[in-house]
Amino acid sequence: MPKPALLVTRRLPPAIEARAARDYEAHLNSEDAPWFRDGAAIAARAREVQAAGILCAAGDPMGEATIAALPPSVRIIATFSVGTDHIALQAARARGIVVTNTPEVLSFATAELALTLMLMAARRAGEGERLVRAGAWEGWAPTQLLGVTLEGKRLGILGFGRIGRTLAGMARGLGMEIHYRDLRPAPAEVAQGAIYHDSDASFLGAIDVLSMHMPGGEATRRWLNAERLALLRPGAIVVNTGRGSSVDDAALVAALRSGHVRAAGLDVYDGEPRIFPGYFELENVVLLPHLGSATVETRDAMGRRALDNLDALLLRGQTPPDALT
């Protein structure tokens, strides 16, 4: 029996590409050729190879036009990500195409990066690193690059899901008090003493550090706007490892310039890889290139999870464990 044809849009970890090549007629993109940025090119390649499955990644343009152009042979789209903002789920559902993601396996790595950004922003690590690299450091000084400690500060977690709860556990080790905002309070055994807020005003006014872990979509677009930024305590720190679209960039830049927000740490951006140019003019913002899940262990686990979903449908005729449509 011939192996199902699988179109892989991006370069993936070696073990994942090897497994795909073993079990499928795999059409890989091991050079990360940029055709993955064009939905029409993805659809054309899927038609060319009569793909039964597509293994795509975050940011690949799998919108309505791409879904409509896919050949009838496509039965499943497995995304190498938790987020599915790049996929037109309803359009896929209408065509009977199963969409899966890779939940759970990247919670620790993303929380770890949120903590990294919190520490870098609080301790002005980006500024210090740039000072040293520029050859401008003249030695230790009592008042040089004074930051703030996280010990005893109040951490506000926006979105108390797997990543937010994992971050809470890490932050407790720093002696931080945990507050959270979500649709409903978590059970006591899950919250572990974290303080629930049922309004934005109560939440934002109580915290020293805001870490954003909310889902994307129109409902959360530019959630952190000028009005909500004004509710933060003066000198607050903002960290975003969730969705770039949930931040009003112009409003955050204005708050950083005025000092109302002491510092920010960002790993995701609205319209990435484009970045709002105002950030480049500021020293008090740490900018990372979407590294939330970028560990060897996590990316391998994501690849295995994506292939497990593909295997379930294409090799065993079963419902994939992470089916979203």
State the catalytic residues. Answer: 243, 272, 290
| SS3 per-residue string spanning the chain | CCCCEEEECCCCCHHHHHHHHHHCEEECCCCCCHHHHCHHHHHHHHHHHCCCEEEEECCCCECHHHHHHCCCCCCEEEEECCCCCCECHHHHHHCCCEEECCCCCCHHHHHHHHHHHHHHHHHCHHHHHHHHHCCCCCCCCCCCCCCCCCCCCEEEEECCCHHHHHHHHHHHCCCCEEEEECCCCCCHHHHCCCEEECCHHHHHHHCCEEEECCCCCHHHCCCECHHHHHHCCCCEEEEECCCHHHECHHHHHHHHHHCCEEEEEECCCCCCCCCCHHHHHCCCEEECCCCCCCCHHHHHHHHHHHHHHHHHHHHCCCCCCCECC
